[in-house]
Each structure stands twice: as C-alpha cells, then as structure tokens.
Amino acid sequence: MYEDKTLVCKECGNEFVFTAGEQEFYAEKGFVNEPQRCKSCRYARKNAGKPEREMFTVTCATCGKEDTVPFRPREDRPVYCKECFAKTREA
C-alpha cells in the first residue's frame, strides 16, 4: 500500500527517504503531514537547547583500554570500557 518517497529537507535542502514503514507509522498515529526535515536536522532541532554532555576519560579496569564515560568515575569503583561493560552485563 505504501511506497518509499523521496522528500527534500526544508532545513538543509538534502533529499531523504520517507520509507513505507515510516508512512505506515504516521498513518497509525493519525499524522496527516509528511516530515519536513531529514533525520539529522530533526535530531539537531530536538537537541538544540540541551547542554553538551560532559564526558570523562577513563582506563578500563579489566583490559586497560582508554575510553570515555558520561559520569565522573569514583576511586572506589571499577570503570569498564564499552566492550568489557557489555560482557559483564551478559554474565
């Protein structure tokens, strides 16, 4: 019933695809207008007023690799890189 449409972003002027799945989602939600902006412009507009998140450089307690985390690490707790943290969540 729905087919992919190529639209032009009113913010940056680039073309983007309004997929059949997105069209179906819009219809289910009762939205009558097609999107006016591409995904990156929508994201930028949504986060325009938010402050940039401070990141902290850490050394992984397991493998020793350097990584960044969105919180200030404490001395009494180990901090892991993304890969090692994912492994601890699996166990």
Question: Residue 58 pairs with which residues in a beta bridge?
Answer: 67
Structure letter (DSSP) for residue 22: H
What are the tens digits of pLDDT across the range 20-67? 999 999 999 999 999 999 999 999 999 888 888 899 999 999 999 999
> pTM to 2 decimals?
0.54
The domain of 31 spans 5-46
> Are 60 and 42 part of one and the same domain?
no
Place of tokens 């819009």: 26
> Are 10 and 33 part of one and the same domain?
yes
Q: Does residue 51 fall inside a structural domain?
A: no
Q: Are 36 and 9 in contact (CB under 8 A)?
A: yes
> Are 32 and 65 part of one and the same domain?
no
